Amino acid sequence: MNTLYPLKFKPILKERIWGGNLMQTRLKKQFNGLQSVGESWECSGVDGNFSVVENGFLAGNHLQELIEVYMGDLVGERIFRHYGIHFPLLIKFIDARENLSVQVHPDDKLAAERHGSLGKTEMWYIIDAAPGAVIYTGFNRELDRKTFLEFLKNGKLTEILNREEAMAGDVFDIPAGRVHATGAGILLAEIQQTSDITYRIYDWDRVDAQGKSRELHTHLALDAIDFKKPASFKHHPEGPHNVPVILSANNYFHVSRLTLTSPYERDFHRLDSFLIYMCLDGQVTFLFQGGKENLSSGQTVLVPASLETVTLVPSPSATLLEIYHP
């Protein structure tokens, strides 16, 4: 069997009513005739949207096929024992030219009962934000179901949503159950559980080109919503160059930022997990036993668990997100 290597996938671009063109102008994605691209799925194990390898001898194979063949060598032994052939994370870039819908995602228990699926806990890292751009996350007061429905029925939902100004480098943790929406003018990286279950609550009264509103899922959402006011809504981690700066850590993913100005050797032989690197700015070369792979702004790579050491060499600098399953 040929040796595994860092895998790059063909981006899965998604047209969205709220999408823009930053995927093309900022992240260098090829639209190929698409308009208003809101999402680029960089690494996906979602049914019907499996990521396909674009580099090396495994080009043309999709992610689930690779897990079937390489098992723990690809994802890590403990991860393969727990998830089998199902990849546990979904990695995206999101370009919100307009507001996204106000929505909520179910937790593992509710998602399993209703959909036979994982829940959806996620985090956002703000890559860029227009002046005055905001993230809607959680409520600005303690609520119960009855009060929430009264505000919703009276067209006053936005009065109870917490608004946070968004700036590059901000981190928003969005646990399952937290009502949220990305505001207009934001480019972000999203790391989440492998789930495409969204309960849409409010869509800003917008309609599509045919004058139709998108479906709402209020009754499904009610059992998923956490009505408590969170203790915190966002943070803005700072840290030195050339070492990982932790951004988010939970039972599903661990995310750090690496700002590299010199070569950095990553030894993860005890991690027993794949790693994913999203390049946000600059260029970097991955040196590994048997070869090298280049990564530039807007690109993502999956480093198999069997590669225990990798050296990252920036050219001359690079900013990356490093993601693994704890």
Cβ atoms 276, 323 nearer than 8 A: yes
Residues 261 and 217 in one domain: no
Checking if the pLDDT of 152 tops 80, the result is yes
Q: Is 200 a catalytic residue?
A: yes
pLDDT score recorded for residue 1:
53
pLDDT score recorded for residue 247:
98
CATH code of the domain containing 251:
2.60.120.10
Could you tell me the residue range of the domain that residue 287 belongs to? Answer: 245-324
Residues 14 and 49 in one domain: yes
Residues 76 and 200 in one domain: yes
> In which residue are the tokens 């599509």 written?
208
**92-131 tens-digit pLDDT:** 999 999 999 999 999 999 999 999 999 999 999 999 999 9
- Within a domain: 227: no
**280-303 tens-digit pLDDT:** 999 999 999 889 999 999 999 999
Residues 102 and 209 in one domain: yes
Residues 170 and 309 in one domain: no
Checking if the pLDDT of 30 tops 90, the result is yes
pLDDT score recorded for residue 209:
76
Residue bearing the bigger pLDDT, 161 or 210: 161
pLDDT score recorded for residue 211:
85
Residues 46 and 146 in one domain: yes
Please pick, among 26, 97, 200, 257, the residue that the annotation labels catalytic. Answer: 200
pLDDT score recorded for residue 58:
97
- Within a domain: 231: no
Residues 217 and 317 in one domain: no
pLDDT score recorded for residue 207:
85
Residues 143 and 273 in one domain: no
Checking if the pLDDT of 194 tops 80, the result is yes
Sheet containing 186-193: give its strands across: 12-20, 37-43, 89-96, 186-193, 122-129, 171-174
**263-285 tens-digit pLDDT:** 999 998 889 999 999 999 999 99
Domain count, the chain: 2
Residues 185 and 149 in one domain: yes
Q: Helix, strand or coil for residue 300?
A: strand
Residues 255 and 218 in one domain: no
Task: Look up residue 311 and give its two tokens.
Answer: 């050296």
CA–CA separation, 31 and 28 (whole Å): 9
CA-closest candidate to residue 318, choices 274, 257, 266, 238? 257
Task: Look up residue 254 and give its two tokens.
Answer: 């661990």
Cβ atoms 145, 227 nearer than 8 A: yes
Residues 49 and 139 in one domain: yes
Residues 89 and 181 in one domain: yes
